[in-house]
Chains A and B, each alone.
Chain A
Amino acid sequence: MSTNGCNDEAMATNRSGAQRPNGAPQTKVCQFKLVLLGESAVGKSSLVLRFVKGQFHEYQESTIGAAFLTQTLCLDDTTVKFEIWDTAGQERYHSLAPMYYRGAQAAIVVYDITNQDTFGRAKNWVKELQRQASPSIVIALAGNKSDMAAKRMVEFDEAQAYADENGLLFMETSAKTAMNVNDIFLAIANKLPKSESGGGSAAGGARRLADGDQPRTSTCCK
């Protein structure tokens, strides 16, 4: 639907902020659409599950189509709400991916450090995003399963060099041990522009603002 983002105007009409009896001081609420892409079974859903629910399942069921989740992060002066699209990895579902990364402000392209092919596939995803997605999209590369370093097939330096060349954020993550999972989302949140205004003025704007009224306080650092 519409693009969204930070909207200071939004705050003027934010109906909850000032009216909440226990209202915390107003912080800017920003919403960003984030999409996860990558080869099947590299751990996309596991990263999201770890980030959103703090859980890990060894046998995370395969994602059919796509899954949608949200999570809110608190930065110093801003609350960032991620609308996360977790996509299916099988090539058959590739044709649906553009509808998820369309209008996304951020993407995490995931590969499995124990599988060189998944890294090649990640590069293709990056290429596709650079060509097809919004030009300002923030892309992070996640080398997942870093807990299985004994079986490593993709060197850290190789991936880092690739990320630097392409202006990507890069971290090796482990959904299993939670290593760098919050960090990569946080790094994205920090890199996303939060001052642009008017992003939410399109058709879905009102809805987005209304959504922003309900930050998940439980996951919000106060």
Chain B
Amino acid sequence: MNEEALLARASEERERIFQRYERGRENLVGQIDPWEDPEFEDYHKTDRYGFIHDERLPRKTAPQKINVEVEREKKWVKMLASWDSPATKEKLHRRIYKGIPNSLRIKIWCKLLDVNRIKSDNPGKYQEMLKLAKIWSTDVRQIDSDVNRQFREHQFYRERYSEKQCSLFNVLCAYSMYNTEVGYCQGMSGLAGVLLMYMDEEDAFWALAILLSEKKYNMHGLYIEGFPKLTRFLEHHDKILTKFMPKLKFHFDKYGLDAILYSLKWYFVCFVERVPFSLCLRVWDIFLHDGERVITAMAYTILKLHKKAIMKLNDMDLIVNYIQVKLHKDFGYEDDIVIYNLERSMEELKRAKLDYPGLPPPNELPKRQLGVFIEPDKKSKIGQRAESFSDTEKHARATVILRREKAAVELQELRVSQSDTVSEHSTVAGVRCEDSLSVLGSRRSLADTSVTSTADLSVFSSGRSHAPENSLDTHSNISDDATGSDGSGICGLSIQRAMSTPRQTVHSTPRGSPHPSSVSPTSEDVVRIHVTYSPLAASPSHLRPVSPSKYKSYDVQKPTSLGFYATNGSTNTENTIRIQVPSEELLTPIVDSGRIITQRYIESHSGIYDIK
């Protein structure tokens, strides 16, 4: 096809797509492909085997909750009447953090964004942009395909060419003309989709415009070629992790997990489809009020609240799935608690001067005047892709790759320099190690005490999938797991692999050794567990804690919570060692010759493990 034919084809396609949205659902009867218009069942779900599940929502909104919401509505209505008064200013922050009543979001969001001002400053602009888009927009095909899959499970968007689908299409097309540097970038349909749940078409357009170009939100830099703001904010995010959660950062690095992989949607669509929608709205309330630093703080808060769980996941797949899918379905904390923590995080980051990565550099800001028509070039009219990357794109790519390589090098250095512990490393790096495990105190090993048993260590794995593998390779754990405290650890139990050939002790093994092959055990399925022989502990009722010699900072009041009991010769089974893990989740170090081999949380409550 020659250029002219291609141009003609592109504009024909654009017109065809536009026409369908203009006609809307009612006028397209029989013309919507079944695949575009899947049937929806309000109350049921069909699983992969064809079984239909009744998944109605529980009727559980507590009456007092509704009462609270009604009371709040009254206050907000009053406040709306005197929006610009000093009293409102004073109360606004607190009330925003408590959550805007859902019925009033439609008004308050417009107020917070000051939509009316920009709208009245630009009369007729939206219609003008929409008209231009119909003739010129080069993003129509992409927008069409994304509208077709945005929030399709939401009542507003479930029907193809429904009113809101048409609004979404219009807003995005008009915006692609209003801000030609951004045009349309995937992700914006999520943003506009949420706005349209609470606003009419034109308000949503202006709200989108404000989110992208007002300096409080500056989302422009996120969506333009090369994503410069994303890069800058991710670097800042990494900085926060390094300072406040170095172990988690180490954990991510260990699995090659760059922040761009798990947090992209946090930044691009402000947590839409990454946290439950009710929580997402609460974050949006605050974001609209306080601006872009809220995203940074929320990213930190999510990881802080779920650090423990994430640390247990030993696979990139599992971590990504947890952060992206599990937290969307069930965040695990009440919204109020999350918001409380978000506020604390913001204070914490502010104290550390890490709440804000700084003013945007010029390359993140719009260069062209917004709302001024510029004819697209031929290539983009035809929809032809660029043959090579622009400098901005090359830079963006290089930055991410560099960040990965830097992380890999740091990881390697950490492993090598990790002669004894991570907290030592952290001190060297001048890092406050808030999540260090050094609260566990005493140094003591029972490696040479009297009872020896051989066992399959999989008993430790009950309820946990990855523990046993890790606990068995002592060496790779030392080099892989950043879990050492300052060379000390509670003991009570020590585990050695039974070896049929002599091998180096843990002491003399080079810690940084990244080669697991060098520690290949010759007899892999035999593990020796040494536990103090305790003749008194003849039955479970006489369970006696194997007390460590001293406690440093661990809960001295409740030494029993430390964990291991020896009940050798218990009534039921000869030669059984019973290990009881108390109910609260606690960190259980496995110690060999005074050194921690591994530490892990044991999840199960009051787990009792019998080793024969």
Q: B476 — which chain A residues lie within 8 A by C-beta?
A: 206, 210
Determine whether the beta carbon of A1 is less than 8 Å from that of B317. no
Interface residues on A, range: 35 or more
**Binary flags per residue of B496-534, CB closer than 8 Å to A gives 1, else 0:** 000000000000000000111101100011000000000
Contact yes or no, A121 B149, CB < 8 A: no
14 A-B interface contacts by CB (under 8 A): A15-B469, A19-B524, A54-B48, A59-B153, A62-B150, A83-B316, A96-B396, A98-B397, A124-B385, A176-B35, A203-B408, A205-B515, A207-B254, A211-B316
Determine if A21 is an interface residue (Cβ-Cβ < 8 Å): yes
Q: How far is the CA of A67 from the CA of B479 in the complex (A)?
A: 29
Q: Which residues of A33-58 have CB atoms within 8 Å of chain B's CB atoms?
A: 40-41, 53-55, 58
Q: Would you list the 4 A-B pairs with minimal beta carbon distance, nearest first?
A: A95-B393, A59-B152, A65-B264, A58-B38
Q: What's the nearest-Cβ distance from chain A to residue B259, in Å? A: 11
Pairwise interchain contact A40-B142, C-beta atoms closer than 8 A? yes
Residues of B within 8 Å of A176, CB to CB, are: 35
Question: Which residues of the partner chain A approach B383 to less than 8 Å between Cβ atoms?
Answer: 117
CB-nearest residue of chain B to A41: B145
List the interface of chain B (C-beta within 8 A of A): 35-36, 38, 48, 142, 145-146, 148-150, 152-153, 185-187, 189-190, 223, 225-227, 254-256, 260-261, 264-265, 268-269, 273, 314-317, 320-321, 324, 383, 385-386, 389, 393-394, 396-397, 400-401, 404, 408, 411-412, 456-458, 465-466, 468-470, 472-473, 476, 479-480, 514-517, 519-520, 524-525
User: Are B470 and A210 in contact, CB atoms less than 8 angstroms apart?
Assistant: yes
Q: Please give, as numbers and ranges, the residues of chain A lying within 8 Å of B145 by CB-CB distance.
A: 40-41, 62
Interface membership of A70, Cβ < 8 A:
yes
Residue A13 interfacial (CB < 8 Å): yes
A66 interface residue (CB < 8 Å to B) = yes
**B186:A90 contact, CB within 8 angstroms:** yes
A214: CB under 8 A from chain B? yes
Shortest distance from the beta carbon of A14 to any chain B beta carbon, whole Å: 9
The B-contacting residues of A in range 13-34, CB under 8 angstroms, are 13, 15-16, 18-21
Contact partners of A207 in chain B: CB under 8 A: 254-256, 480
**Residues of A bordering B, CB below 8 Å:** 1, 9, 12-13, 15-16, 18-21, 40-41, 53-55, 58-70, 83, 88, 90-96, 98-99, 102, 117, 121, 124, 148, 176, 201, 203-207, 209-211, 213-214
Cα–Cα, bound, A18→B524 (Å): 7
Taking the nearest CB of chain B, how far is it from the CB of A111, in angstroms? 14
Number of A-B contacts (CB under 8 A): 157
Q: Are A62 and B146 in contact (CB under 8 A)?
A: yes
The winner among A21, A65, A88, A98 for most chain B CB atoms within 10 A is: A65
Q: Which residue of A lies closest to B466 (CB)?
A: A214
Residues of A within 8 A of B48 (CB): 53-55
Kindly provide the distance from the CB of A106 to the nearest chain B CB, expressed in whole angstroms: 17
Q: Is the CB of A61 within 8 A of B458?
A: no
A210-B480 in contact (CB<8A): yes
Q: Which residues of A contact B525 (CB under 8 A)?
A: 18-19
Q: How far is the CA of A69 from the CA of B264 in the complex (A)?
A: 16
In the complex, which residues of chain A have a beta carbon less than 8 angstroms from the beta carbon of B408?
1, 203-204
Set of chain B residues within 8 Å of A63, measured between Cβ atoms: 186
A180 vs B481: C-alpha distance when bound (angstroms) = 41
Residues of A within 8 A of B520 (CB): 12-13
Nearest CB on B from A213, distance (A): 5
Given A124-B385, A210-B480, the answer on whether A1 and B396 have CB atoms closer than 8 Å is no
A-B contact sample (14 more), CB < 8 A, given A12-B517, A62-B189, A207-B254 = A15-B472, A21-B458, A58-B36, A59-B153, A61-B149, A63-B186, A94-B389, A95-B397, A96-B227, A124-B385, A205-B514, A206-B514, A206-B515, A210-B314
Verify A95–B394 contact, CB threshold 8 A: yes
Question: Given A117-B383, A207-B256: A92 and B225 within 8 A (CB)?
Answer: yes
B256–A13 touching, CB < 8 Å: no
The answer to whether residues A94 and B469 also contact, given A62-B149, A210-B476 and a CB cut-off of 8 A, is: no
Is there contact, CB below 8 Å, between B186 and A214? no
Contact A15 B473 (CB under 8 A): yes
One of B187, B386, B400, B411 near A99 (C-beta < 8 A): B400
User: For the complex, what is the distance from the CA of A23 to the CA of B60, rounded to whole Å?
Assistant: 46
**What CA separation (Å) do A96 and B258 show in the bound complex?**
13
Q: For the complex formed, measure the closest distance between the CB of A175 and the CB atoms of chain B, giving whole angstroms.
A: 12
Q: Give the residue among A18, A54, A93, A210 with the most B Cβ atoms within 10 A.
A: A210
Query: Which of B149, B190, B457, B470 is A60 in contact with, Cβ under 8 Å?
Result: B149
Which of A20, A41, A99 is B458 in contact with, Cβ under 8 Å? A20
Given known pairs A12-B520, A94-B393, A95-B389, the reply for A68 and B186 (CB within 8 Å) is: no
Across the interface, do A99 and B517 meet the contact criterion of CB distance under 8 Å?
no
User: Complex Cα distance A49/B480, Å?
Assistant: 32
In the bound complex, CA of A12 to CA of B517 (Å) = 7
- A27 vs chain B, min Cβ distance (A): 16
Chain A residues, Cβ within 8 Å of B479: 206
Complex CA gap A16/B268 in Å reads 40
- Is B480's CB under 8 angstroms from A99's CB? no
Bound-state Cα–Cα, A55 to B45, Å: 13
Q: What CA separation (Å) do A65 and B472 show in the bound complex?
A: 37
**Alpha-carbon gap, A95 to B148, bound state (A):** 25
For B185, the closest partner residue in chain A by CB is A92
Report the minimum CB–CB distance from B395 to chain A (whole Å): 9
- In the complex, what residue of chain A is closest to B383 when comparing beta carbons? A117
Determine whether the beta carbon of B401 is less than 8 Å from that of A99.
yes
A23 to chain B, nearest CB (A): 8
Distance from A162 Cβ to chain B, minimum over Cβ atoms (Å): 18
A13 and B473 contacting across the interface, CB-CB below 8 Å: yes
Q: Which one of A9, A64, A102, A121 lies within 8 Å of B187 (CB-CB)?
A: A64
Write the chain B residue with the least CB distance to A95. Answer: B393
Expressed in whole angstroms, the minimum distance between the Cβ of A200 and any Cβ of chain B is 10
On whether the beta carbons of B458 and A214 are closer than 8 Å, the reply is no
Nearest Cβ distance between residue A172 and chain B, in whole angstroms?
Answer: 17
Q: A203's contact among B389, B400, B412, by CB below 8 Å, is which?
A: B412
Contact of A210 with B469 in the complex, beta carbons under 8 Å: yes
Name which residue of chain A comes closest to B470, CB basis. A210
Shortest CB distance B480–A (Å): 6
- Closest CB of chain A to B394's CB: distance in Å? 7
Q: Chain A contacts of B260 at CB under 8 A?
A: 65, 96
Contact status B468-A92, CB under 8 Å: no
Q: Which residues of chain B have C-beta atoms less than 8 A from A67's C-beta? A: 320, 324
Of chain A, the residue at the smallest CB distance from B145 is A41
B472-A99 in contact (CB<8A)? no
Q: Smallest CB–CB gap between B160 and chain A, Å?
A: 10
Judge whether B469 and A13 touch: CB under 8 Å. Answer: no
Give chain A residues whose Cβ lies under 8 Å from the Cβ of B404: 1, 99
